[in-house]
Amino acid sequence: MALLVQKFGGTSVGTPERIAAVADRIEKHAKAGDRLVIVVSAMSGETNRLMGLTNQFGAHLSEKHRDLVLSTGEQVTVGLLCLALEARGIEAQGFLGWQVPILTDQAHGKARIQNIDASALESALEAQKVCVIAGFQGVTEKRDVSTLGRGGSDTSAVALAAAIGADECQIYTDVDGVYTTDPRVEPKARKLSSITFEEMLEMASLGSKILQIRSVEFAGKYKVPLRVLSSFSDGEGTLISLDNEVTSMEQPLVSGIAFNRDEAKVTIRGVPDIPGAAYAILGPVADANIDVDMIIQNIAHDRTTDFTFTVHRNDFDATIAILQERATQLGAQSVDGTCDICKVSIVGVGMRSHTGVASTMFKSLSDEGINIQLISTSEIKVSVVINEKYLELAVRALHGAFQLDQPPKDHQRPRAIAPENVDKS
């Protein structure tokens, strides 16, 4: 018997037939004696449809009222799944975000969870009911419905797992686990049996779309073991847990290759090298709510600097416009940029205890004739910016260089750690 939180995404509940298949899966766990909290997304495509309806009245109107519309998608799924469970003789109790309640701040459209009162869930579990909860939504102190932003159902599931002290939070999706890289790019990609929170957080931030980054942050903070599983096939999936500092962890160098195509590079050239120049460039970019990623600065002999950084491709035109205005004020020589780049990264906790990882990466790219434009590093990752046309070649080359198609030898990944000191309110 285990206390489990299981989350099913939009593709998993995309049709009545798939909802029935989810109910069959839940039935097996219920008959095995597991206590279950089920978190569901809206049916596949439904949130986009609802967003389209709200945009007919204007894209910049009240987010509070838009949340009222967007939250209805999950409500439909909760009701349908409860009906499917009842048809199988399983007593279910449906909850919307405000009925739990899941208390959030008032940032409609991208709200953050502040508190969860788990008492109603615990009462339903004690009565041997399966709790089915609408993901993606909560309620503010003013009793307004709020939504957590795209991918918010993952965060709902992890937060609920922390609140009730679940043994595991299982994320069911259309893939059967976390792979060493995208199998569509490298067919030799291998499914990982386990990965650490740190590695998953890096991979999520670098473009892996398997888990929403906020959910991984939440799981790491509250020590909630996460498992990624497929709704459409059986298997153990991939366990995401804490890094137990054991000697066997020293064997593998790299756990995965992540990449992001949605990158753009901008450069402001010939900026006078004076104190405050970097802030004068990046301050207005930040004020425009544009996230800056990799940054490099080169100082020339004439005491000017070339300042290069990357942004999301959607923000490229706005960033260029801001820099062109700043160039005149700073006395810079020119502004240019490009969108034909991508970012490729190697990720692994083994980098902490091994040397030569970056040089292996750079040699592998050099052997393929791939030029590196920018480099960024942290304790457990190395990222490079390259021309986008070389993305697939780079991923395959690095996957081979670090032998990621082979299981690590004499290596055990950390086992799940039960949640500790989880606050319930």
Per-residue model confidence (pLDDT) at position 413 = 39
User: What does 209-272 look like in DSSP terms, one character per residue?
Assistant: -SS-HHHHHHHHHHT--EEEEESSS-S--EEEE-----GGGGS-S--EEEEEEEEEEEEEEEEE
313: which strand partners? Answer: none
Domains of the chain: 3-174 (3.40.1160.10), 257-401 (3.30.2130.10)
7-25: average pLDDT: 96
163-168: average pLDDT: 96
409 band by pLDDT with thresholds 50, 70 and 90: low
239-257: average pLDDT: 66
Per-residue model confidence (pLDDT) at position 156 = 96
Distance of CA 31 to the CA centre of its chain: 32
176-184: average pLDDT: 91
Within a 10 A sphere around the Cβ of 5, how many other Cβ atoms? 29
Per-residue model confidence (pLDDT) at position 421 = 35
Residue 401 in this model has a pLDDT that exceeds 80: yes
Per-residue model confidence (pLDDT) at position 72 = 96
Element (H or E) spanning 76, and its range? helix 72-87
Alpha-carbon distance of 137 to 144, in angstroms, equals: 11
Query: Of 16-25, 146-155, 161-170, 416-425, which gets the smallest average pLDDT?
Result: 416-425
CA nearest to 324, candidates 381, 286, 288, 281? 281
Please provide the distance, in angstroms rounded to a whole number, between the alpha carbons at the two ends of the chain.
25
243 band by pLDDT with thresholds 50, 70 and 90: low
Per-residue model confidence (pLDDT) at position 249 = 42
Query: Of 26-35, 68-77, 96-105, 145-154, which gets the smallest average pLDDT?
Result: 145-154
Helix, strand, coil distribution of the chain in percent, nearest 5:
35, 25, 35
222-231: average pLDDT: 92
Q: 94-151, pLDDT tens digit by residue? A: 999 999 999 999 999 989 999 999 999 999 999 999 999 999 999 999 999 999 988 8
Q: Which amino acid is at 354?
A: H
Alpha-carbon distance of 170 to 6, in angstroms, equals: 5
For residue 42, what is the DSSP state?
P
Structure tokens belonging to residue 276? 């405050």
Summary count for the chain: helices (H), strands (E): 12, 18
346: which strand partners? Answer: 257, 382
Alpha-carbon distance of 130 to 329, in angstroms, equals: 63
Per-residue model confidence (pLDDT) at position 251 = 46
422 band by pLDDT with thresholds 50, 70 and 90: very low
265, 374 contact by CB (below 8 A): yes
Instruction: Give 56's Cβ-side CA count (13 Å radius).
Output: 6
CA angle in degrees (0–180, nearest 5) for 200-216-233: 75
Cross-sheet strand order for the sheet of 304-312: 292-299, 304-312, 256-272, 334-347, 381-387, 374-378
Per-residue model confidence (pLDDT) at position 425 = 35
Residue 350 in this model has a pLDDT that exceeds 90: no
Percentage of residues of the chain with pLDDT beyond 70: 93
Instruction: Give 83's Cβ-side CA count (13 Å radius).
Output: 9
Angle between helices 152-164 and 213-222 (to 10 degrees): 10
Rounded to two decimals, the pTM is 0.81
Structure tokens belonging to residue 180? 């060493």
18 band by pLDDT with thresholds 50, 70 and 90: very high
Alpha-carbon distance of 391 to 204, in angstroms, equals: 18
64-93: average pLDDT: 97
Alpha-carbon distance of 28 to 84, in angstroms, equals: 14
Q: Which residues contact 107 (CB under 8 A, 6 or more apart)?
A: 146
Q: 294-321, pLDDT tens digit by residue? A: 999 888 778 888 999 999 999 999 999 9
295: which strand partners? Answer: 309
